[in-house]
A and B are shown apart, each in its own frame.
Chain A
Amino acid sequence: MLTTFIPLGVTLVAAPLVPGLINKTKAAFAGRQGPPLFQLYFDLLKLLNKGAVYSRVTTWIFRAGPIVSLASVIVAALFVPVAGTASLSFSGDIIAFAYLLGLGRFFTVLAALDTGSSFEGMGASREVTFAMFAEPTLFIIFVILARVTGSLSLSSMLTQAPLVGTPSMAGLLALVVFSLFIVCLAENSRIPVDDPATHLELTMIHEVMVLDHGGPDLAFILYGASIKLFVMVAMLAHLVFPMPDGSPVQSGLVFGSLMALITIVIGIVESAMARLRMVRVPRLLMAACMIACFGMIISLR
């Protein structure tokens, strides 16, 4: 019984490492030493020991926001395989997965609107606008994977897709991985879409919505964001390379190195690219969506 929850446990423990590794990569590109790999753990501990300050205009929605979004991301993480096995999987859990992520976003947006600050309202509007482009792409990717593997559960779709041996599979997987990578960058507000390092700037999206949260609430939000990033990178890792059938140690090693590799690629993308102009972002997401559509057309034949 306990072994079922090992994948979830790994996700919960290792998630803060992913942003740490991205920051290390970016620092290496900039020629700095950068913050330590475990910086996010220290930050979370520090924030959890602080008290929270709440504005008088906010209601219970503002306090519920971080808790609901963290909880929904953790439940969504149940369905994502770690090194080939997921804690929980049933036919059709892709819909649950996508809408749990959506629920988390919905409550973050509500909490941002609840503060009554026009600045946060702007961020909320942007977040929802870009999600509108990212979510169909995610679903089209799911349709492709369901079509080629004949399965409707996230973990078996992700683990079986690289093993399908039809000739069009290599190109199709490349299309899927590319569009999922862009969705991953957009969903986690990484660089070509949003800059996680900027504060108090008029162009930011995700960071602006959480400006009024402090203390434990901010810790929940940061932790939830790192789990979401871990989950998306884990999905990519399973698609890029099939997990070996051998011992858990072997597949764990393969999984770990794939995770590190993809995380470093994200770091390189962030170091090499500038944030896109706000009006260009929908076009990037639209392109990812069209590429996924093209993949779907190929897979449906």
Chain B
Amino acid sequence: MEHVTQLLLILVILANLFVLGSHPLGACIRAVAFQGIALGLLPLSLHPEERSIHLFVIALGMVGLKGFVIPGLLFRAIRDAAIRKEQEPLIGFNTGLFLGAILVGLGFGIAGKLPLPPHTGSSMVVPVALSTVMMGLLVIVTRAKILSQALGYLILENGIYTFGLILAAGLPGLIEMGVLLDIFAGIFIMGTVIEHIHREFGSISAHKLVNLRE
């Protein structure tokens, strides 16, 4: 199963790089959905000896929610708010890709120095989690559109989820469900908020949201 785990983790990083380096918003949403599916399958390959119903439920919930429901919500937000399907990054796409590669290197470098428990499944889980978190932050910081920032938030959360996977078998299902519900609610609210902002200001660029009013 080690092969499958490595392959899934590589796909996760590639999806990150794709989001950092590609132009159309729809393709980025699909890439994040793809990343969600890959992460959903990860617990099954990471803990092959303890495949319980619990693990299958987590995997199923993860694939369903992050692979289909949340992307569906984001696509609906695009359609409802009639957003132009292009992003306006604050830095160029090439610079973004370059920074992304540096963050991957940084993630691998830091992970080697962390005092982790000896048994953490595959050796690549922690570095991939760390660099995914950092790349999610990079997306949030460098994109002007709120929808792109929501994508960055999703990537960030995917990274945290990957980190949690080390302990997935010991995690109670209820906490898992709670976390998934949180994300779902977050994206749901974000979608609605985007629609309202769009109706109010005629734009969803974060640059125009500078002062607070009653």
Which one, B90-98, B172-180, B183-191, is touching chain A? B90-98
Q: What does the 1/0 interface line of A274-290 toward B look like (CB < 8 Å)?
A: 00000000110011001
What's the tally of chain B residues with a CB closer than 8 Å to chain A?
22
A290–B124 CB distance below 8 A? no
Closest residue of chain A to B17, judged by CB? A290
Q: Which one of B3, B10, B112, B124 contacts A175 once the chains associate, using CB atoms below 8 Å?
A: B10
Closest residue of chain B to A284, judged by CB? B21
- B7 on interface, CB distance cutoff 8 Å: yes
- A10 on interface, CB distance cutoff 8 Å: no
- B202 on interface, CB distance cutoff 8 Å: no
With a cutoff of 8 Å between Cβ atoms, the chain A residues found around residue B101 in the complex are 290, 293-294
B104–A282 CB distance below 8 A? no
Which one, A106-114, A152-160, A163-171, A212-220, is touching chain B? A163-171
- A64 on interface, CB distance cutoff 8 Å: no
* Min CB gap A168→B, angstroms: 5
B2–A286 CB distance below 8 A? no
A286–B98 CB distance below 8 A? yes
With a cutoff of 8 Å between Cβ atoms, the chain B residues found around residue A167 in the complex are 2-3, 6
Closest residue of chain A to B8, judged by CB? A171
Q: Which one of A175, A286, A290, A301 contacts B123 once the chains associate, using CB atoms below 8 Å?
A: A301
A297–B108 CB distance below 8 A? yes
A171–B94 CB distance below 8 A? no
B93–A283 CB distance below 8 A? yes
- B27 on interface, CB distance cutoff 8 Å: no
Which residue numbers of A lie inside 8 Å of B, CB to CB?
167-168, 170-171, 174-175, 282-283, 286-287, 290-291, 293-294, 297-298, 301
Given A167-B6, A171-B3, A174-B7, 13 more A-B residue pairs with CB atoms under 8 Å apart are A167-B2, A170-B3, A283-B93, A283-B94, A286-B21, A287-B97, A290-B21, A290-B98, A291-B14, A293-B101, A294-B101, A298-B124, A301-B123
Which residue numbers of B lie inside 8 Å of A, CB to CB?
2-3, 6-7, 9-10, 13-14, 17, 21, 93-94, 97-98, 100-101, 104-105, 108, 112, 123-124
